[in-house]
């Protein structure tokens, strides 16, 4: 498996949402959680961290009473009920006798029910972590009875689910019947957004360690380019590690190169925004006033960290590179910010701090 985080110690931040999720996992009867967030915002990394044995021991006093099952749905290829069943069968067979189970061609509901009953009698609690679960809810190969079965397990036993998706699961269903399934009523939705300021600093410290410099000396510059989302920050920081001279020398090509690396990512984010939010972002990009009737959309975008407010309480798009992307969608010519005197002075100062020039 291609792990979303290579080393457990490399996972940064997210303490508030981790505490909230573990409060539900560690309840007298475990509760289900749906983690919702945009592309490459860190959902998979968070779920991997939540399901890690060290995290379980850290947050649960009676961690030995829990059984964790972790399935990255993107790895079920082709995505089918049969392949999902095989994957789950391999995970669960270690906890109960196989009972001459030889036919894996269909989802064996009785096998899993008997397994859960057996573990329930042992006072075990089962948490099934499902990454990119929208790939299941949007797949016609998974019938209504599959979701009804998962709901029945949660109703009758100590079973809970922690899922990730890019939108609320009920909005990502292949049919009306599945959308109206009571299965989705058992979830508490928790939104994953950009990093907080303290998390950004931790992230930059980790990613930029190879630059051998104090993060605070160039933090503002990197955040100005990338915003507060993990993937753009990582792309910009890796560019710094690869060629700090080019990043900080005032090279007019640097923003274009970074933009090209992030353009596909920005397009995915853009495609998943609704029309009203796109329109507001375009207005901000053009420097136009947001009508009073659309102010609530600014609040939505602020909660998701797509915009920020300056000292005069004026809204602006968070991250220069994403702002460039929005401007192109709005048909606005992009001024080369690298040529500005303020930016040039900043880069000269940064070069001196990093020892690139004397």
pLDDT of residue 161: 98
Whether residue 21 is predicted with pLDDT greater than 60 in this model: the reply is yes
For 353, list phi and psi in degrees, rounded to 5.
-60, -40
Token pair 């007298």 is at which residue? 28
User: pLDDT per residue over 170-187, tens digit each?
Assistant: 999 999 999 999 999 999
pLDDT of residue 152: 95
In the chain, what are the domain boundaries? 8-191, 197-353
Whether residue 279 is predicted with pLDDT greater than 90 in this model: the reply is yes
pLDDT of residue 281: 95
Architecture field, domain 8-191 = 3-Layer(aba) Sandwich (3.40)
Q: Helix/strand/coil (H, E, C) string of 44-96? A: HHHHHHHHCHHHHHHHCCCHHHEEEEEEEHHHCCCCCHHHHHHHHHHHHHHHC
- Give percent of the chain above pLDDT 70: 81
User: pLDDT per residue over 229-257, tens digit each?
Assistant: 989 988 887 776 666 555 555 566 777 88
Predicted confidence band at 353 (pLDDT cuts at 50, 70, 90)?
Answer: very low
> Mean pLDDT, the chain, as a whole number?
84
Helix residue ranges, H only, the chain = 15-25, 43-51, 53-59, 81-92, 109-121, 134-137, 144-156, 176-179, 197-207, 219-226, 230-242, 244-248, 254-271, 275-285, 295-303, 320-329, 341-353
pLDDT of residue 144: 94
Q: Which residue has the higher pLDDT, 102 or 196?
A: 196
């Amino acid at each position: 498996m291609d792990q979303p985080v290579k080393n457990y110690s490399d996972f940064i931040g997210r303490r508030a949402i981790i505490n909230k999720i573990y409060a539900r996992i560690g309840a007298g009867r475990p509760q289900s959680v749906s983690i919702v967030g945009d592309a490459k915002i860190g959902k998979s990394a968070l779920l991997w961290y939540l399901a890690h044995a060290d995290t379980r021991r850290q947050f649960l006093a009676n961690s030995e009473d829990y059984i964790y099952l972790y399935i990255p749905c993107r790895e079920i290829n082709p995505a089918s009920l049969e392949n999902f069943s095989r994957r789950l069968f391999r995970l669960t067979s270690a906890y109960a006798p196989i009972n001459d189970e030889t036919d894996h061609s269909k989802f064996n509901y009785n096998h899993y029910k008997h397994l859960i009953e057996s573990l329930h009698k042992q006072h075990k609690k089962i948490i099934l972590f499902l990454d990119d679960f929208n790939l299941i809810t949007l797949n016609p190969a998974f019938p209504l009875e599959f979701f009804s079965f998962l709901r029945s397990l949660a109703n009758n036993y100590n079973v809970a689910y922690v899922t990730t998706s890019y939108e609320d699961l009920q909005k990502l269903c292949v049919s009306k019947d599945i959308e109206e399934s009571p299965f989705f009523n058992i979830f508490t939705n928790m939104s994953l957004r950009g990093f907080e300021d303290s998390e950004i600093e931790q992230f930059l410290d980790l990613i930029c360690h190879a630059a051998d410099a104090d993060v605070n000396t160039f933090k503002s510059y990197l955040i100005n380019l990338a915003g507060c989302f993990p993937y753009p920050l990582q792309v910009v920081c890796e560019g710094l590690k690869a060629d700090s001279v080019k990043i900080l020398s005032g090279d007019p090509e640097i923003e274009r190169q970074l933009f090209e690396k992030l353009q596909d990512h920005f397009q995915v984010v853009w495609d998943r925004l609704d029309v009203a939010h796109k329109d507001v972002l375009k207005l901000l990009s053009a420097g136009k006033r947001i009508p009073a009737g659309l102010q609530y959309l600014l609040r939505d975008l602020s909660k998701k960290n797509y915009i920020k407010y300056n000292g005069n309480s004026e809204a602006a798009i968070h991250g220069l590179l994403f702002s460039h992307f929005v401007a192109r969608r709005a048909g606005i010519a992009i001024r080369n910010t690298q040529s500005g005197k303020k930016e040039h002075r900043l880069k000269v100062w940064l070069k001196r701090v990093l020892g690139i020039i004397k």
